[in-house]
Structure 1
Amino acid sequence: MRVGILSPRPLATVGASVEYYGEGKMQVEGRSQRRNAFTLVELLVVIAIIGILVALLLPAVQAAREAARRSQCLNNCRQIGLAIHMYHDSTKELPPSRMWDGGFTWAGVVLPYMEEAAISNAADFTRNFRDQPDLVKETVVPTFLCPSRIHEQPLNYLKSEVIPYIQTPTGGAVNGAGSTRGIQGDYACVSSTFRSGNGGFDHVFDGAIILPKSLPGNRFKSRTKLSKIIDGTSKTLMVGENSYWLAARVSIYDGLDNPGAILGLGALSRVKSALPDGGRGVDFSRREGGSVSQVPKQYPGEGCESGAGCNAWFGGDHPGVLITTLCDGSTRTIQKDADLAILECFVTRAGEETYSLEDL
């Protein structure tokens, strides 16, 4: 019997080509396979490149964010300066650092001129701060807060509470100074150099916004106005960023313990006498009465735990600079390491000094 050989059908093959060379013969040629994955070395190189790019870009991103925060803080100071000027236009005098012991401070007095009608309408400015409704005491005002500072809580720490990150030069805890809850604020009026206790009240409180004259019936009369800024409104400080220590210890409205901040080489004995408990928690290892805080946010490990000048009236969380408002309403930055003797000249309203703003 003769058996014929049938031609086979093409086979369904994957990744191969089939050629026929006559009856019963075929050849399969494998198609070259392409590699579709990275090697481990290639992946590590890519990751390293991405890491380098991120490391290069991160400082620039952080710098851009800080520039935006600084711009917002400058705007806050500008708004505060405008409010004080509107108060002056209305009353023909500058606001007091506080109305009376326990009354409102300058920050509460200017609320009607900061578009905070709900708070100012609810307040009774003839009564002490502690007797105000919670709406007044606890409503946060964003204009009073620096965006670069992290706020653990919006209200001040009471006397029974320890202020975080602040210690005395001997390592002891520092408690809050307030007896009433109220919103914190990151700005303080500039009141005095405290250079001397001689020459009367106006000589001791030689700044722009100071304690007023007390009148019967919980009334007051300011001692200063723009016409008394003999040194020039463009060369006299009015408001500046306060330190974390000052912001945390008392409400920005509470005049019980916020008579205005000191900046300069003030006589140490005069400064101590102006502070609660003779200067509890303030570093007196340096002679300067009112220095500028050099430690942003003042966390442990940055010098603050040893009392290295962190418990000052003025200080900010912007790297290297402090934002201030001058009596003409303009805002500017000054260097945190500026000479305190020069800073004193820009605190006094009638010191007749001749320094230039460029010296700051």
Structure 2
Amino acid sequence: MNRSCNTRSKAFTLIELLVVVAIVAVLIGLLLPAVQKVRAAAARMKCADNLKQLALAVHGYHDARGRLPENSLGGSGGPYGPQTQAWSWLARILPYAEQDPLYRQTGLPSGTLYAGRAAVATPVALFLCPSDSAGPPRDDAADLGVWASPAIPAAPTNYKGVSGANWGWGDPRWRNPAADGNWDGLNQGDGVFYRTDWKAPKGLLAVTDGTSNTLLVGESLPEHTHWLAWAYANSAAATCAIPLNVQYPADDDYSWKWEYSTTFRSKHPGGGNFALADGSVRFVANSIDLTTYRALATIRGGEVVSVP
């Protein structure tokens, strides 16, 4: 006798399916912030490693030449443009950062930026923070692509030398003369790097405040400034006279104003990375006291201070 069995296949009901979808959505919602935090932490660590390599390259240059690498913008803030030999300290450390072929392409020490324009337009991974999408070479760089002729495209940098804490432009809140009364942080900074520092060559012994207490290189965001070219002396330094990641005016074209574009800022939550003159790297919080921040930026201010 044939016996037939009525069997029902087990299947999800619509309600069960919706519950499963809801659970998966909740899990993804919980997981994404964790993944983003891990990525942010990894990017911050990579950025710190970049700064470490830059500091070591600065020390390598110093050991070989007996002085710190310099910015060579001529005169008192000029002449400007691609027809000059205004190479930055970043360009000069290329051989000590495993970039000797690119260094030779610049034509340093005697070539102009225009003659070395292929190098000027070459992105250097070491000069870029992984948290920022600095992008390809830009043709709107101040002096190289806007104000001077012939214009040349410029590859950006996320890292700039610390010019010190003296400053005299823009918002009165940030004006801060040096101990000798000098406020010109662009041409006579009281830190390690400024755009005409070739006129006053110095070694690490000049950092009398202590290399472990002096900021050397910090983070910048090319998207917020037209002074962005790694190769150019007029774009390779920033000031600590103005707070880290200072708030921009909402209704202002800040990208052309020194008091906002020549500052340190990053996309790392809560602050930014800095290399110190001894080669170490520290994360500096946005909440750092401005007096302390400024004191860390000077090389011989005589302040008793350390990175918090």
Return the TM-score normalized by structure 2.
Answer: 0.80
- The superposition leaves residues 111-144 of structure 1 with CA deviations (integer Å, 9 ceiling, x where unpaired) of 111111111112222122123141x122211000
Q: Is the 8 A contact 1:210 1:223 kept in 2?
A: no
Q: Is the 8 A contact 1:96 1:105 kept in 2?
A: yes
Percent identical pairs in the alignment equals: 29
Q: Is the 8 A contact 1:130 1:180 kept in 2?
A: yes
Structure having the higher Rg: 1
- Hey, what does 1:49 align to over in structure 2? 23
Distance 1:338 1:201 in 2: 22
- Cα distance 1:188–1:58, how it changes in 2: closer, same or farther (>3 A)? same
- Hey, what does 1:117 align to over in structure 2? 100
Q: Is the 8 A contact 1:156 1:247 kept in 2?
A: no
Q: Is the 8 A contact 1:245 1:312 kept in 2?
A: no
- The superposition leaves residues 266-293 of structure 1 with CA deviations (integer Å, 9 ceiling, x where unpaired) of xxxxxxxxxxxxxxxxxxxxxxxx3322
Matching of residue 250 in structure 1 with residue 228 in structure 2: yes
- Hey, what does 2:121 align to over in structure 1? 138
Q: Is the 8 A contact 2:71 2:89 kept in 1?
A: yes
Matching of residue 233 in structure 1 with residue 211 in structure 2: yes
Matching of residue 306 in structure 1 with residue 306 in structure 2: no
From 198, 207, 211, the counterpart of 2:191: 207
Q: Deviation at 1:304? A: 6.3
Distance 2:30 2:165 in 1: 44
Distance 2:279 2:159 in 1: 15
CA root-mean-square deviation: 2.9
- Hey, what does 2:81 align to over in structure 1? none
Give the strand-richer structure, 1 or 2: 1
Q: Deviation at 1:54? A: 0.7
From 256, 260, 269, the counterpart of 1:319: 269
- Cα distance 1:251–1:177, how it changes in 2: closer, same or farther (>3 A)? farther
Distance 1:153 1:210 in 2: 25
Matching of residue 72 in structure 1 with residue 46 in structure 2: yes
Distance 2:39 2:5 in 1: 56
Structure 2: tracts of 5 or more residues without a match = 79-83, 167-175
Distance 1:191 1:335 in 2: 19
Distance 2:141 2:215 in 1: 30
SS of match in other structure, 2:272: strand
- Hey, what does 2:33 align to over in structure 1? 59
- Cα distance 1:53–1:177, how it changes in 2: closer, same or farther (>3 A)? farther
Worse overlay, 238-247 or 305-314: 305-314
- Hey, what does 2:169 align to over in structure 1? none
Return the TM-score normalized by structure 1.
Answer: 0.70
